Structure 1
């Protein structure tokens, strides 16, 4: 297998990581979906069917599809990985020593596939042997879960993001998603696919409390030519970006990090919900949030392990310079103001580019897809009536591991 490398947003996509939802979605209910960051419960069978269609479309395009659940199961065959993950997710401080120790011993004996299901889908009190429950000192639990499900694993883009020759394993902003990072840390550390490859860990792989220095992959666009475009959103903070940028520069993997400020609300929780890169000179944007002349800030290395923040410049000016094009085309979300708002909410701007000018998006976003087509962008459509209710599109649901740079090359 080729070395993991992501050199752009639009170069030929070679390998991608998805997560097929099942148990975690089955455990979404009207009483818990909001705290698990979903707006509603989904029809699980239909959501799984739609996700299978998405994965098959990618395979039909000769893209290697890896599934997070399968990688996690294979990782758990390693005793060291299993011990580390159980200690991280079922710690004494989370559950109390009286319960945590015997629970870890019981989980350690489970088949890898079953343990993988619990680590992604959550573990309920009813699923553990009754004898273990007697070890619990606290009163009857208010929640049916010992550990909550992780339905947002569906959005593999966020938990880790590959940037040129390395990966950031991201400290997530919301408690409902923070355990996802442990699963990715274990996969990247112990799975044979990654053990045998030489890559850089930029950020987030240390066992520490990251406090306000959070970062999520939906805000990170690897636009190529040594540049990375990052949104400061409700999930990605300036503190997190500072650490990532310093690491990128230290490892000589980027020359510029470009920052844009986003509103701090759910409808544009990440940069890729309002802006994605479609072709060498073409971006999709939601104009209520992204404007060509909006200010952006460029960070560069100061040569002494620090950062230089340059005065703000118009976004379009910076993009034209980075991409070496004379004019950037911006395709705005389709329809009138009401249709555009609805389609942005349904991830019309959150498309996954497979190669220059060819993207995957939801078929429900008719007006925006029509505008893409008229602009010469080919849209391969998938159904998203259920998946889209999780507030994520094809880009959100995919983490590229191998992608060519803007010139179709790799190091």
Structure 2
């Protein structure tokens, strides 16, 4: 099976999503800030909304894969549990007294149970009576303390891994609360039979290096098509990370142009797709009050070694139009006052997932933006996101496309 993403708005064929599980039930008033959530979500309702979202995708012909299931299947592949013992259950994470005992558990635990804990976290009481070791860490922890913290941000599958054309970046995440997601993503993409047999080209991050400041997240990566990628630089993806990705894309020979966009350094603009998303072959939905003078830079491929020519752009969207080969880009800024725009922005009013050119999925609550896009010829397929949206992520955030067609021009 071939996995590739040729555009942002071509017909969507396959995606990975993560149905909220144990990890969302372990989000509390005491830990939600540390885990990058603004509130405690109603987990049961969030699952219902996510199920409806997945059903909407299937109704539009999209093959939906669930990350938790892929992870469980990957854990039964040869070498997967050894990888986990090497990269997760280490003496530096748990102390030398626990390392061997946790390695043993990793090797014998049923795959579905282990996958649930890798995402949902492990409390001390979860392993009470299973491990008998003179561990200072175990003695120190209370029964309801986390031995392994939950990963509720796995809900946002866009960020931890991203396909760009025929390549895959397994992204080094910016925040400590999300960095362990990369281990789970590497398990899936390195060991699951569907991906291991598919010969997926790895671009960046599929290693055990210290990436330091070169962080990158998929919400900042937009495959705009025509051998070009746009990447946001802000709270999560750094210039160093963007350059690492650009050089990998240029070496792969599938991309000629990378456009790097500087974002406002605010939580509501944590990724490029919280500020703008592509909704048609020539159109972007853009936060109405996003500064017109956003700085952007174009990296032009020079050769097979990853070198590039760098230039700062006078304006962003004329450059995008030129790269896409269209006369102009329709920049769709909803006519709305600042307070209304801020409310819809907080609820991911510009975070759309394209199903096909001019057909996108968005949260129904952003009524002003949705009506405006409809007036501009964009069909918005509405979904409920009362709980999902409280995690500060929209339909694009919830999905990792693994197969999407190019756009006919």
Distance apart, 1:233 and its partner CA:
1.1
C-alpha displacement at 1:297, in angstroms? 0.8
The aligned counterpart of 1:387 is 388
1:294 positional shift: 3.5
Shift of 1:324: 1.3
Per the alignment, residue 374 of structure 2 pairs with 373
Task: Provide the secondary structure at the position in 2 that maps to 1:260.
Answer: strand
Contact 2:78 2:191 (C-alpha < 8 Å) held by counterparts = no
Contact 2:35–2:152 (CA<8 Å) still a contact in 1? yes
Instruction: Give the equivalent residue in structure 2 for 1:42.
Output: 41
Structure 2 distance, partners of 1:334, 1:402, is 34
SS at match of 2:136: coil
Q: Which residue is 1:342 aligned to?
A: 343
Quick one: distance in 1 between partners of 2:136 and 2:295? Answer: 55
How far residue 133 of structure 1 moved from its aligned partner, in angstroms, is 5.4
From the superposition, tell whether residues 160 and 131 of structure 1 become closer, same or farther in structure 2 (CA, over 3 Å).
closer
Spell out the pairing of 1:247-396 with structure 2 (5 A cutoff).
Answer: 247-291=248-292, 294-303=294-303, 305-333=306-334, 335-396=336-397
Asked if the contact 1:333–1:349 (Cα under 8 Å) also holds between the matched residues in 2, the reply is no
CA contact (8 A) 1:333 1:344 kept: no
Please list every run of 5 or more consecutive structure 2 residues that lacks an aligned counterpart in the other structure: none
Moved more, 32-41 or 297-306: 297-306
Count of residues in Structure 1 that have an aligned counterpart in Structure 2: 406
Matched with 1:399 is: 400
Structure 2 CA distance, aligned partners of 1:224 and 1:332?
A: 22
Asked if 1:229 is matched to 2:230, the reply is yes
Q: Partner of 2:207: helix, strand, or coil?
A: coil
Q: Secondary structure at the match of 1:15?
A: strand
* 1:141 matches 2:141: yes
1:3-37 deviation per Cα after TM superposition (whole angstroms, max 9, x unaligned): 11100000000000100011000000000000000
Cα distance in structure 2, aligned partners of 1:10 and 1:125: 45
| Aligned-pair Cα RMSD in Å | 1.4
Deviation of 1:306 after TM superposition, in Å, equals 2.1
After the TM superposition, which of the residue ranges 159-168 and 106-115 deviates more from structure 2?
106-115
The alignment partner of 2:187 has SS state of helix
Determine if contact 1:123/1:145 at 8 Å carries over to the other structure.
yes
- Structure 2 equivalent of residue 112 of structure 1: 111
1:120·1:149 contact (CA, 8 Å) conserved in 2?
A: yes
Structure 1 residues 73-120: Cα deviation after superposition (integer angstroms, max 9, x where no partner): 000112410221233122111011101211221232111000000001
Deviation digits for residues 269-309 of structure 1, max 9, x if unmatched?
A: 00000100000111000132253x54321001233542221
Deviation at 1:404, TM superposition (A): 0.6
TM-score (norm 1): 0.96
Distance 1:299 1:348 in 2: 29
Q: Is the 8 A contact 2:81 2:106 kept in 1?
A: no
Match of 1:211 in 2: 212
The question of whether the paired residues in 2 share the 8 Å contact of 1:333 and 1:348 is answered with: no
Answer with 97-106 or 10-19: which moved more.
Answer: 97-106
How many Å apart are 1:165 and its aligned residue?
Answer: 0.6
- Superposed, which structure 2 residues align to 1:117-132 within 5 Å? 117-130=116-129, 132=131
Range that drifts further, 8-17 or 136-145: 136-145
Determine helix, strand or coil for the equivalent of 2:255.
coil
Q: Distance in 2 between matches of 1:79 and 1:190?
A: 8
CA distance in 2, matches of 1:207, 1:224: 30
SS in 2 for 1:267: helix
Which stretch shows the higher mean deviation, 57-66 or 335-344? 335-344
Q: Which residue of 1 aligns with 2:167?
A: 166
In structure 2, how many angstroms separate the alpha carbons of the residues matched to 1:131 and 1:348? 47
Decide whether the 8 Å contact of 1:166 with 1:202 is kept in 2. yes
Q: Secondary structure at the match of 1:56?
A: helix
Distance 2:270 2:312 in 1: 25
Work out the CA distance in 1 between the residues paired with 2:306 and 2:270: 30
Q: Contact between 1:122 and 1:150, CA under 8 Å: does it hold in 2?
A: yes
Name 1:152's counterpart in structure 2: 153
